[in-house]
Amino acid sequence: MKKQYFGTDGIRGRVGDAPITPDFMLKLGWAAGRVFRETWGSRPTVIIGKDTRVSGYMFESALEAGLVAAGANVKLLGPMPTPAVALMTRTQNAAAGIVISASHNPFYDNGIKFFSDQGAKLSDVTELAIEAAIEAPLVTVEPSELGKATRLVDAAGRYIEFCKATFGEERSLRGLKVVVDCAHGATYHIAPSVFSELGAEADIVAASPDGYNINDDVGSTSTRALSERVRAVGADLGIAFDGDGDRVVFVDDQGILVDGDELLYILTMHRVATGRADSGVVGTLMSNMGLELALAEHGIKLERAKVGDRHVKELMQQQGWHLGGESSGHLICSDVSTTGDGIVSALQVLAAMVDAQKSLRELLAGMVKLPQVLLNVPVTASMNLDSPAIQGVTRQVEEALHGRGRLLLRPSGTEPVIRVMVEGDSLEEIQAHAQRVADVLTAVA
């Protein structure tokens, strides 16, 4: 069955536009509570956390009311990173966790992510069951069966200690000067403690959320200010999280961006050096071919999943591998965390630096990213990518790349465009190839 509300990363949209409305969230909470109650019995516990968007308070209250009306207990975390909600769901023996967040999107968007009792994304079966329950009339359980809502007041401290433990007691960040960009998001009260308690000289920026400034020219999607700050204070590096704390990117001491592909390479090479490497890692269709070529030199395969952390995690599980990630900085180290965790991933990168006694740039010496061009071509809904004209130009471009590049045509999941991505050794050549394909798409459309 096709889902009506759940996408690849929960339910997301603009606040006030269906389904991101208070009445829908009330019904969603009730429907979820009903489904979890059928599975777990009376009064299942559901954890709720959120990022720093102003609308989070409104949706938190609506979800809480719906869950309680369905006979579920609720534990409220307040503003907390998405991976912290996954952790608390596991450690509190909860039936599920809910995150109110739109990740790296602006403040006027919001969304809902669910975690299973194991801190992983919900199964398709469970999501479909919740959607089916949404269509039923909302009926409150008997007063004696109503759930209770409480606050888990020590959640931040628990998560901080968890993050620090993943770094290893034998390591220290003493002598390292780092700028940390919290995107005015959910890591604002967590990341400063983690890095300073591990010994780093931490210069914290974008850690004053007001409900409206989340991801506003800061964080992992906008590193210009971070780069300038790193250079201005003479830091060794900078770290940027996104609004809900599940993504991370770095900048080096010169303020040059180190993206998710490069961080995945550093993590893999650290595991090679310490004898913990798997035979492969998982990237996505958008992962730079330079990563694939660099890993191949060490006999490590790069398998590509569809874009989205859910697809990355699924392929990791199928292959039995422990590392995966996206260029955006959503990295999964499944042997230390069940989900993408920006702080934990950052600490894994810093552990590689500490163990090797090398800078970020030195750790990247074995990887050269190929130039990449991405064009968005407006198309009609009926566009057929299998048409002879499109197949013909695709074949010609792939032959011209001689195995030292890639062409990818990918329909957008959110707008009527085809994304044309071309990689290769020469920027000038791939720009020409991308435009050639775009022209054919435009003509066919």
Residues marked as catalytic: 103
Strand order in the sheet with 73-79: 11-14, 109-115, 96-100, 45-50, 73-79, 149-151
Could you give the CA distance from residue 144 to residue 116 in angstroms, rounded to a whole number? Answer: 27
Could you give the CA distance from residue 56 to residue 107 in angstroms, rounded to a whole number? Answer: 10
Tokens 């566009």, residue located: 383
For residue 137, whether the previous peptide bond is cis, meaning omega lies within 30 degrees of 0, is no
Angle at 329 between CA 335 and CA 298, to 5 degrees: 65
192: exposed, middle or buried (C-beta count within 10 Å: 0-12, 13-18, 19+)?
middle
Cα–Cα separations (whole angstroms), residue 147 to 30, 225, 246: 11, 46, 30
Strand order in the sheet with 201-205: 201-205, 177-181, 237-241, 248-251, 257-258
Token pair, residue 200, equals 């780093």
Beta strands in 217-339 (DSSP E): 237-241, 248-251, 257-258, 280-284, 301-305, 323-325, 331-333
Could you give the CA distance from residue 240 to residue 245 in angstroms, rounded to a whole number? Answer: 9
Terminal Cα distance for the chain, rounded: 30
Question: What does residue 41 show for φ and ψ, rounded to 5 degrees?
Answer: 90, -165
The DSSP call for residue 212 is S
Amino acid present at 175? G
